[in-house]
């Protein structure tokens, strides 16, 4: 077993490192209190340093842990699968880890890593934020996933619905731990607080309204933004038709993507141009300004494995309106305490939730109380929970190493690697 500073190596794999991953991995690297996470020497492997989906700035290397990047130039998905397998094998041979933590069952580097683990009889931990309902399920796909999950010794998942699904795929519940989806809570709390202290100047600088719902998402179909705009128009009409009428909040949509032209047309058709704001995509360091000055956060996705923007909003102290199909809703949204959930297909229900949040009866809605509740709830879902989950999963994996990979499993993994397992 290769060791660094007398410690066994722990390899954690990600498709591409972003700001969220660095916060989580730093917590693993430095350890926390009595969790003894620091008993392992952490090495991170990322598939690529840039990709087509997330326009994050390139994250600089960390002083807390070394990073091995398989492809410095170009997206991982554009690389020949044989080259992915070769470089993944070369990387893990060099690291020689005691345990490998892999991101799910569809990523090409994860499949290549599982082949290496099976060949070298090194236990694997599967990280997953999949739920039973987040995409179409068929019997053959589920059978394939059960076979892949069977090659792993433990799992780290998002929350309760993700654990339920992992159990259904055959992982014993006592080998499943939560905390996979975490952001740097302290960063968002501190920076959002700083923005609030300078609210007058910042509102003017960024041309932000006095009260607004904030949404942050890629402009793609599953984020359900056209329906959110329709619901927002409905909400405004209801606000203005009241006796007495209420002053409706504005809506700020952060993000960008292929649906932007469609959304702009819809905003024009619904005559919302004066009250819907599109600041565009914002980098990590720019986000706290928008969270800090918002009145509430809304996330309307029809399909969302977790929804890290909800974590960010909670750490920033915002009340929530969240689709009941977001994987985080069951764990993070406490109905009536820090926000409300809704059916993302129901325009009237979304509009009603917005009206209730902005103009609810006195005594029913206390935005300050909801803000405080969001901060309190999210404390249990920060990077430290990720570190603790990794530690617990690794300890279990070392006690339950998977058997040497068989011919059928090798054929399956290689076939998925070369054919693409994204449909799973």
Whether residue 320 lies inside any domain: the answer is: yes
Domain with 276, as residue range(s), is 185-380
Whether residue 154 lies inside any domain: the answer is: yes
Residues 6+ apart with CB under 8 A from 71: 47, 48, 49, 79, 87
Q: How confident is the model at residue 64 (pLDDT cuts 50, 70, 90)?
A: confident
Is residue 38 located within the same domain as residue 103? yes
Whether residue 31 lies inside any domain: the answer is: yes
Choice among 18-32, 65-79, 119-133, 380-394 with the minimum mean pLDDT: 18-32
Whether residue 305 lies inside any domain: the answer is: yes
- As a whole number of angstroms, the distance between CA 171 and CA 69 comes to 30
Token pair for 199: 């609210």
Whether residue 424 lies inside any domain: the answer is: no
Average model confidence (pLDDT) for the chain?
Answer: 91
pLDDT at 364: 74
pLDDT at 39: 76
Is residue 202 located within the same domain as residue 278? yes
**Residue 1 above 70 pLDDT?**
no
Is residue 217 located within the same domain as residue 332? yes
Answer whether the bond into residue 244 is a cis peptide, omega within 30°. Answer: yes
pLDDT at 50: 73
**Residue 411 above 50 pLDDT?**
yes
Q: How confident is the model at residue 60 (pLDDT cuts 50, 70, 90)?
A: low
Give SS3 for 80.
Answer: coil
Give SS3 for 356.
Answer: helix
Q: pLDDT tens digits, residue range 122-132?
A: 999 999 999 99
Is residue 264 located within the same domain as residue 322? yes
| CA-based nearest residue to 16, from 41, 40, 42, 50 | 50
Q: How confident is the model at residue 36 (pLDDT cuts 50, 70, 90)?
A: very low
CATH number at residue 246: 3.40.50.2000
Q: pLDDT tens digits, residue range 76-103?
A: 888 999 999 999 999 999 999 999 999 9
Give the total number of structural domains in the chain: 2
What is the CB neighbour count within 10 angstroms for residue 55?
14
Whether residue 348 lies inside any domain: the answer is: yes
How many alpha carbons fall within 13 Å on the CB side of residue 94? 14
pLDDT at 98: 95
Is residue 171 located within the same domain as residue 206? no
Is residue 156 located within the same domain as residue 212? no
**Residue 304 above 90 pLDDT?**
yes
User: Please, what sign has the CA dihedral across residues 215, 216, 219, 221?
Assistant: negative
Is residue 285 located within the same domain as residue 263? yes
């Amino acid at each position: 077993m290769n060791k660094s500073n007398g410690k066994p190596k722990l390899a954690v794999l990600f498709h591409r490192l972003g700001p969220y991953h660095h916060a989580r991995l730093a917590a693993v690297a430095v350890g926390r209190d009595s969790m003894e996470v620091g008993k392992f020497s952490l090495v991170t492997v990322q598939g690529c340093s840039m990709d087509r989906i997330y326009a994050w700035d390139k994250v600089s290397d960390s002083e807390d842990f070394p990073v091995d990047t398989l492809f410095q130039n170009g997206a991982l998905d554009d690389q020949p699968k044989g080259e992915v397998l070769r470089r993944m094998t070369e990387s893990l041979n060099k690291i020689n880890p005691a345990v490998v933590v892999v991101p799910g069952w569809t990523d090409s580097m994860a499949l290549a890593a599982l082949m290496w683990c099976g060949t070298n009889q090194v236990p694997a931990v599967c990280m997953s934020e999949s739920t039973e309902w987040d995409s179409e399920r068929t019997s053959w796909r589920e059978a394939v996933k059960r076979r892949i999950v069977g090659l792993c010794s433990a799992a780290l998942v998002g929350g309760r619905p993700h654990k339920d699904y992992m159990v259904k795929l055959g992982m014993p519940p006592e080998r499943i731990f939560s905390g996979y989806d975490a952001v740097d809570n302290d960063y968002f709390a501190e920076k959002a607080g700083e923005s609030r202290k300078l609210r007058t100047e910042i509102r003017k600088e960024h041309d932000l309204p006095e009260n607004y719902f904030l949404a942050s998402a890629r402009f793609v179909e599953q984020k359900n933004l056209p329906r959110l705009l329709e619901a927002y128009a409905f909400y405004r009409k209801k606000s203005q038709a009241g006796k007495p009428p209420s002053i409706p909040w504005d809506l700020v949509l952060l993000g960008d993507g292929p649906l932007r032209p469609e959304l702009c047309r819809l905003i024009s058709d619904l005559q919302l141009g004066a009250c819907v704001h599109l600041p565009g995509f914002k980098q990590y360091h720019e986000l706290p300004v928008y969270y800090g000055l918002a009145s509430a956060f809304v996330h309307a996705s029809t399909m969302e494995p977790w929804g890290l923007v909800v974590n960010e909003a909670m750490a920033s102290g915002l009340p929530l309106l969240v689709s009941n199909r977001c994987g985080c809703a069951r764990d993070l949204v406490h109905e009536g305490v820090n926000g409300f959930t809704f059916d993302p297909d129901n325009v009237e229900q979304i509009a009603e939730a917005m009206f209730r949040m902005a103009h609810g009866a006195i005594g029913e809605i206390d935005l300050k109380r909801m803000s405080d509740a969001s901060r309190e709830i999210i404390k249990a879902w920060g990077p430290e929970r990720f570190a603790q989950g990794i530690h617990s999963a690794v300890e279990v994996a070392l006690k339950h190493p998977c058997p040497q990979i068989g011919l059928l499993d090798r054929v399956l993994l290689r076939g998925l690697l070369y054919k693409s397992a994204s449909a799973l």
